[in-house]
Amino acid sequence: MSEAGGRVAIVTGASAGIGLYTALGLARQGLRVVMVGRNPARTERARRFVAERSGSDAVETALADFASLAAVRHLAETLLSAHDRIDVLVNNAGVISPHFRLSEDGYELTVAVNARAPLLLTSLLLDRLRRSVPARIVTVASQAHRGAGLDPVTMTRPQHWTPLSAYGRSKLCNVLFTRGLARRLDAKQVTVACLHPGVVATAIGDRAGGIAGFGWRFIKPFLITPEKGAATSLFLATVADPRPYHGAYVIDRRIAEPDAAARDDRLAEQLWAESARLVGLRASATAGA
């Protein structure tokens, strides 16, 4: 079990890119960091990188494939059994599938990994976060949510699919999830915010496939580094008073206005109810403070 006085941060998708440098920044600030990854070897290499660069001996790993809801549930059980407090949860893991694929549970893969999995993980860890007052939930969204279309009923198997439309849809889900969760939480206990990290030179776009993947590889040398891309995640995870950012969409440490669809409270509630059903939760499972 983690020491009662030590702050604990969970970072998903921490084996590379933004997640890796988010974990590094949190370790440098003295938090016990759990780096969640899918591949055991890559995640362990990332842990060593963070431990060596931060000088911290409080860097751990946990494994989960977010394409499987059972794996997410197992991850939550592992984290809850290992840590008596969770102060920060950074939902960073993400994917762009180059081809239409279904997750282990039969849902379109990009939305399953980027939106369904973090909703389930957050919900399963929420009681522990509430007991660790004050706690924070930070979700990495994207400007890619702008212009995305979303029908909660058909989002698991949409009629019209491209790698980028699926990614935009998943990021719209992230912003709406943040909006819905903020209404269910007391900001004095747990704050929740989402962010656009900037256009970051990570490997995620390499897997977009086709013209999109080619274009990503072409512009990648001109994009910001993953270390700079982690700056807003770190800001929201550590800012002295996070309450002004509760429910907000943040760019470069400033509150920004998301797309109109991302401000639609009715759509947020429809998404919440359908998402909860799909991952096996009651829609009111995270209600109350």
Domains of the chain: 8-279 (3.40.50.720)
Average pLDDT over residues 80-90: 98
pLDDT given at position 198: 78
* Residue from 21, 107, 167, 249 carrying the catalytic annotation: 167
Asked if pLDDT for residue 199 goes beyond 80, the answer is no
Is 245 labeled as catalytic in the residue annotation? no
Average pLDDT over residues 219-243: 82
Determine what percent of the chain is predicted with pLDDT higher than 90: 80
Neighbours of 153 (CB within 10 A): 7
Least reliable range by pLDDT among 85-89, 154-158, 209-213? 209-213
**Contacts of residue 60, Cβ cutoff 8 Å, sequence gap at least 6:** 32, 33, 34, 35, 47, 82
**Contacts of residue 156, Cβ cutoff 8 Å, sequence gap at least 6:** 106, 107, 108, 111, 112, 278
Q: Is the pTM of this model over 0.85?
A: yes
pLDDT given at position 44: 98
